[in-house]
Amino acid sequence: MKVHDRVSVDQWFLVAVGAALFVLSTAGLVHAVRASWASRLSCRAQLAKPPAEVSQVIEWCRAAYSLYPWNYYFSIYAAEAAYYQADNVRGEARVERLRQARVWCDRGLEQNPYKSQLRRLKTRFLWEESPARAIEYWKAHTEWQYWEPYNHATLAELYARYGDFTRAEEELKLGQGDVIYEQVCKIVIQEKKNWENLQSEKPFEWGE
């Protein structure tokens, strides 16, 4: 190979490397800009003062998700806003908010199936369909994150509302130290009283 041919090959190689670096750096810059703008939108959704309307929060989260679909917190903000404010409206508006909450909850769980906020929302939805399924779902999360007292306290509440007070009291022991512990204790006691009152009011049936 002649010297000038060698120089020509080296030049082309440098041009190719330079072009590749330019493409990669441009792509990285675009990615960073999209992520930054998405983060700005999510901050609006979460921290707006006064708090934004649910429809606006969802719109901001939808825009953020379209820019940067790898951040599951957009799904959390949208799902929680729709769910926890569903009772502020009635009729079809409430149904639509709950539907939106389910959609965003499932979307977030696809990204991070172990995020506590999303698992808690999913448990609430499952409870409406089948309390037993809801308990099993949250129980699996509790076993995965066993040393978190909140998980056990929540599981105790679920067992109590289901009428399984033996397991509720067992889980309650493991929930000590969490901020909701005292509240759950009161719920377990009240649910047990309600259950006992219901049983005492049950009419007598032949064969019992």
Report the 10 Å Cβ neighbour count for 102. 16
Q: Is the pTM of the predicted complex or chain greater than 0.95?
A: no
Would you say 157 and 188 are in contact if contact means Cβ atoms under 8 Å apart?
Answer: yes
The pair of three-digit structure tokens given for residue 19, joined into one six-digit string: 């072009």
Q: Which residues of 158-197 are buried (b: 16+ CB within 10 A; e: fewer)?
A: bbbbbebbebbeebbebbeebeebeebbebbeebeeeeee
Q: Find how far residue 85's CA is from the centre of its chain.
A: 16
Per mean pLDDT, which range of 1-15, 130-144, 179-193 is the poorest?
1-15
In the prediction, which pLDDT does 19 show? 57
Per mean pLDDT, which range of 11-15, 79-83, 161-165, 179-183 is the poorest?
11-15
Report how far apart, in Å, the C-alpha atoms of 99 and of each of 85, 95, 96, 206 are: 12, 6, 5, 46
Mean pLDDT within 86-103: 94
In the prediction, which pLDDT does 150 show? 95
Q: Report how far residue 191's alpha carbon sits from residue 91's, in angstroms, rounded to the nearest whole number.
A: 30
Q: Report how far residue 97's alpha carbon sits from residue 103's, in angstroms, rounded to the nearest whole number.
A: 10
- Kindly report the average pLDDT of the chain as a whole number: 83
Mean pLDDT within 6-26: 56
